[in-house]
Amino acid sequence: MAKRPDPELRAVEAQVALTLTVDDFEAAARDMLPEMVFDYYAGGSGEEWTLRENTRAYGRWVIRPRVLVDVSNVEPMTTVLGQELPFPILLAPTAFQRMAHRDGELATAHGAASLGAIMVVSTIATVSLEDLAATGVRRWFQLYVLKDRGLTAALVKRAHAAGYEAIVLTVDTPLLGRRLRDERNSFALPPGIGLANLEGSGLPESSGSGLFSFFLERHDAALTWDDVAWLRSLSPLPLVLKGIVTAEDTRLAVDAGVDAIVVSNHGGRQLDGAPATLDVLPEVVEAAEGRIEVLLDGGIRRGSDVFKALALGARATLVGRPYLWGLAVNGADGVRQVLEIIRDDLMLTMALAGRPAIVDIDRSAVAPAPAARERGEEP
């Protein structure tokens, strides 16, 4: 006799069937995850003003469609740092993915690999960088600089040896932003989940409030531009600085000889009151003068957001929370589904806007939105 389908499984399947947008995935993830975990992923710092601004900023621009353009072939392929990408969306580094799904970063890697997307692996991942390399995913390594410079150098060397194709130095986190949701929830890593890249290094590996002791005790708040040359000397890999939001720092990054920057405010998790990334993108792109590639993350939830970022000068974009929701809801398949949702929406946007190739998405493709739209009202 055929087994009756498990009602819980049916409920999950029904939920997955309704996940047409990133917001649907977020709602489903909220239902499935413990509140402490959902809040850790979803939350920002302070009053979460910057977090909200990141998504609102996309509503301040409209797309200017061109018509009677042959869009029978839309091609989202591009290059970043000379590396070919099937579409201009990378997976931003996010910590502690085994809280979302038992396979954590491994599932994310499989989901990204199924589409040929680049995964930026966090220093504080819960699967080791070598185990992730074994999945074959295209990978960059995100670095937090520790006071122990020997340990920091060892991380970079391990990443190089394991086939990572770039080092992404996060520069917006000298200290950890104040995350009130985590304080209220007494956030702690669940038992058995630890900092896989730092095992045996005397850092907190599992349980307790590992995250906070990690930052407070080991992270180097004294890092400056003078250290960038040292970081560049550790490996021949391209160096990307993640967390720049001003023209001044863009010029310093160019002078420091880095290969690219990511306009990022850490998804609104660091300085509350920092501007939305899309708002500062034009000033950063202007300051870069085409000498380094400018990427952007923060608040991207749909393909039209990617389109607007590209029109304002981003070479490519990264997403953080969206794929975490996919991971929580449906593991590797969920990560793939979320990336497909954003990619397919980008391709449809390109077609309907009469911009069938990435190079066609230029500054003339967007314009400031009417004020009513900016205030969140229907025009």
Ligand X SMILES: Cc1cc2nc3c(=O)[nH]c(=O)nc-3n(C[C@H](O)[C@H](O)[C@H](O)COP(=O)(O)O)c2cc1C
Residues that bind ligand X (CB under 6 A): 41, 54, 92-95, 122, 124, 142, 170, 242, 264, 266-267, 269, 297-300, 319-321
Tokens of 187: 């956030």
Q: Which helix (H) or strand (E) holds 85?
A: strand 83-85
120 close to 141: Cβ distance less than 8 angstroms: yes
> Closest distance between ligand X and the C-beta of residue 229, in Å?
21
DSSP secondary structure string for all residues of 160-226: HHTT---EEEE-S-SS----HHHHHTT--PPTT-B-GGGTTTTS--BSTTHHHHIIIIIB-TT--TH
Tokens of 302: 């749909």
Residue closer to ligand X (CB basis): 38 or 360: 38
Q: What is the DSSP letter of 272?
A: B
Q: How far apart are CA 76 and CA 344, in angstroms?
A: 9
> Closest distance between ligand X and the C-beta of residue 124, in Å?
5
| Residue tagged active-site, from 101, 160, 219, 266 | 266
Q: Which residue type sits at 34?
A: P
Residue closer to ligand X (CB basis): 71 or 171: 171
Residue 175 C-beta-side C-alpha neighbours within 13 Å: 6
> Closest distance between ligand X and the C-beta of residue 110, in Å?
19
Residue closer to ligand X (CB basis): 297 or 360: 297
> Closest distance between ligand X and the C-beta of residue 127, in Å?
13
CA angle 358, 364, 367 (to 5 degrees): 115
Residue closer to ligand X (CB basis): 135 or 142: 142
Establish whether 101 is a catalytic residue: no
Q: How far apart are CA 60 and CA 245, in angstroms?
A: 18
Residue closer to ligand X (CB basis): 122 or 337: 122
> Closest distance between ligand X and the C-beta of residue 320, in Å?
2
Q: How far apart are CA 296 and CA 301, in angstroms?
A: 13
Active-site positions read: 266
